[in-house]
Chains A and B, each alone.
Chain A
Amino acid sequence: MSALLSFNNVTSYYGATRILKDFSFRIEKGRCLCVLGRNGVGKTTLMRTIMGLTDRSVGAIRINDTELRGKPTHVRATYGLGYVPQGRGILSNFTVRENILLGTFARPDKSGDIPEICLRIFPYLKDNLDRRAGLLSGGQKQQLAIARALAVDPQILLLDEPTEGIQPNIVHEIGEILKMLNRELGISLIVTEQHIKVARKLGDAFLMVDNGRVVAEGPMTEMTDTLVERHMTI
């Protein structure tokens, strides 16, 4: 079976600096892959490389056997990638509604309506569609960022530190929502995470990154404490 998304010896640059080095991995349809590692090892760069937001990358990146190399970000977005960036990337001058509508520009069917699912799972957004997004709290912004990515009608959600800077009870709630999107709607997830607990609950598989390289990978059950200690403790 061919992978939904695969990297084959990808090296990605900011300027002349290599951030990802000979990076290879694959994710099958409907799975949840957790990307783990310390700060600054290239997890965010991995996400940005998928979206084509780094300065340059070499190596093969495929989604459903379509080669992404050389394709600009706005084209990649239309291949079913729903991106939830680090820091959430909410447009603060836009209303909640406009932020979600932004996601619809990457829809393959070109529909301009907010998909029903976006509002069903986030009742707060539904009740505050005309609120200026800059006024939302961190957790609400994260919900909005996920709703916006869902408006793409994605095959894969790319979630960069979705629980970063969010109060603990909402961390749990967002974890449950991601699990539901993955298990019930069959959306594949690539999640970078610092919370080992969240990762263990959510992921089918893990990818341990250190210094821009894949140092370990496998099913989540094989992520031992020794691995965590070696590559994640400071």
Chain B
Amino acid sequence: MDLGSLLNALILGVSIASIWLIAALGLTIIYGTAGVINMAHGELIMLGAYSSYMLQFYLGLPYLLCLPASFVVVALVGLALERGLIRYLYSRPLDTLLATYGVSLVLMQGVRLIFGSDPKYLAVPEIFQSNVMLGSVSVSAFRIVVLLVTVLLVLALWLLFYKTRFGVQVRAVMQNKEMAAAFGINSGRIYMLTFALGAGLAGVAGALFGVLAIVLPTMGASYVVQAFLMVVVGGGSLAGSVVASGVTGEMQSVFAFFTNDTLARFIIFVLIVAFLRFRPQGLFAQSGARR
């Protein structure tokens, strides 16, 4: 066995993990806080990619500025979605499933009507298109950008949730909405802001995925399954999604090294099913009376 290529697989695994994690971040936060399973998450990712495309194409915004700009644009879409639709459905979880699925179809078809079905491309600075040597391993520079952005976002979210007063409010609402309200916390406002935050994170993911792959109205679907798996395996907490992405990303990469991509994915799905059979609440489950 070639140790060098195994090392290569492990490093690639970190990269895969970071992609899966950044796809899952927004979903994790929305599910973990409000208990809403946002079926439109993939389409919010897609909107992030199209936002970047538009900002680049029409305004000539440099790529690195497209990342925060896409966050803002998609967060605003999320805000409108929450105020206009989701907030009426918090006490009806099954209806949010259907409603957000409907939203995902509307977004996908809407974008198709406006931009057509042909792929768009995001331009990135020259330097991101090269490969970087890490020891004996060659990694695409852009994948390192994705990893860095993911690490920064996880760090920022951790600070936001565990070191600020806003974070105390969010975690209080997650544990016991009634007691949070009895101490002056407006849970409706918290849900609104976390939904917007989660949507914005999907926007950032989209701006990155638009470079890793091509920008298409249907691109969301390819990321959303992976994102859902991370949330379910992780149990809906930030730490859970980080660990779930890390472990499954490495497994995908290592299994693919010994077999191939398709079989590796098959093995992971089987393992996840087996894992959920014994721990249906996920790795780090939230305990709490949400409603």
A interface with B by C-beta (< 8 Å): 51, 53, 72-74, 77-78, 83, 85, 89, 91-94, 98, 101-103, 105-107, 112, 148, 152
Q: How long is the Cα–Cα vector from A74 to B182 in the complex, in angstroms?
A: 6
Given that A93-B171, A101-B168, A112-B165 are known contacts, is A85 also in contact with B183, CB under 8 Å in the complex? no
**Contact code string B184-217 (vs A, CB < 8 Å = 1, else 0):** 1111000000000000000000000000000000
Cβ-defined contact, A102 with B181, below 8 A: no
Cβ-defined contact, A102 with B168, below 8 A: yes
Given that A91-B176, A94-B172 are known contacts, is A77 also in contact with B184, CB under 8 Å in the complex? yes
Q: Could you tell me which residues of chain B, from 129 to 182, have a CB within 8 Å of some CB in chain A?
A: 165, 168-169, 171-172, 175-176, 178-182
5 nearest CB pairs, A to B:
A106-B184, A73-B181, A77-B184, A105-B184, A89-B179
Q: How long is the Cα–Cα vector from A93 to B237 in the complex, in angstroms?
A: 13
**Would you give the shortest CB distance from A9 to chain B, in whole angstroms?**
24
Cβ-defined contact, A85 with B182, below 8 A: yes
Cβ-defined contact, A73 with B172, below 8 A: no
Cβ-defined contact, B186 with A102, below 8 A: no
Q: How long is the Cα–Cα vector from A78 to B183 in the complex, in angstroms?
A: 8
User: Is B116's CB within 8 Å of the partner chain A?
Assistant: no
B interface with A by C-beta (< 8 Å): 165, 168-169, 171-172, 175-176, 178-187, 287-288
List, in ascending order, chain B residues with CB within 8 A of A73's CB. Answer: 178, 181-182
List, in ascending order, chain A residues with CB within 8 A of B186's CB. Answer: 72, 74
Q: How long is the Cα–Cα vector from A101 to B181 in the complex, in angstroms?
A: 14
Cβ-defined contact, A91 with B175, below 8 A: yes
Q: How long is the Cα–Cα vector from A83 to B180 in the complex, in angstroms?
A: 11
Given that A92-B287, A94-B171 are known contacts, is A74 also in contact with B187, CB under 8 Å in the complex? yes
Cβ-defined contact, A98 with B168, below 8 A: yes
Cβ-defined contact, B171 with A74, below 8 A: no
Q: How long is the Cα–Cα vector from A92 to B179 in the complex, in angstroms?
A: 12
Cβ-defined contact, A51 with B165, below 8 A: no
**Would you give the shortest CB distance from A160 to chain B, in whole angstroms?**
11
**Would you give the shortest CB distance from B128 to chain A, in whole angstroms?**
40
List, in ascending order, chain B residues with CB within 8 A of A148's CB. Answer: 183
Q: How long is the Cα–Cα vector from A105 to B186 in the complex, in angstroms?
A: 10
List, in ascending order, chain B residues with CB within 8 A of A103's CB. Answer: 183
List, in ascending order, chain A residues with CB within 8 A of B288's CB. Answer: 91, 93
**Would you give the shortest CB distance from A85 to chain B, in whole angstroms?**
7
Q: How long is the Cα–Cα vector from A73 to B182 in the complex, in angstroms?
A: 6
- Which of A53, A77, A148: most chain B CB closer than 10 A? A77
Q: How long is the Cα–Cα vector from A172 to B171 in the complex, in angstroms?
A: 34
- Which of B168, B171, B176: most chain A CB closer than 10 A? B168
Q: Known A-B contacts: A74-B186, A93-B171, A102-B179. Give 15 more (CB < 8 A).
A: A53-B181, A72-B186, A73-B178, A73-B181, A78-B184, A91-B176, A93-B175, A93-B288, A98-B171, A105-B168, A105-B184, A106-B184, A107-B184, A112-B165, A152-B183
Q: How long is the Cα–Cα vector from A148 to B185 in the complex, in angstroms?
A: 14
Q: How long is the Cα–Cα vector from A89 to B187 in the complex, in angstroms?
A: 17
Cβ-defined contact, B287 with A93, below 8 A: yes
List, in ascending order, chain A residues with CB within 8 A of B180's CB. Answer: 74, 102
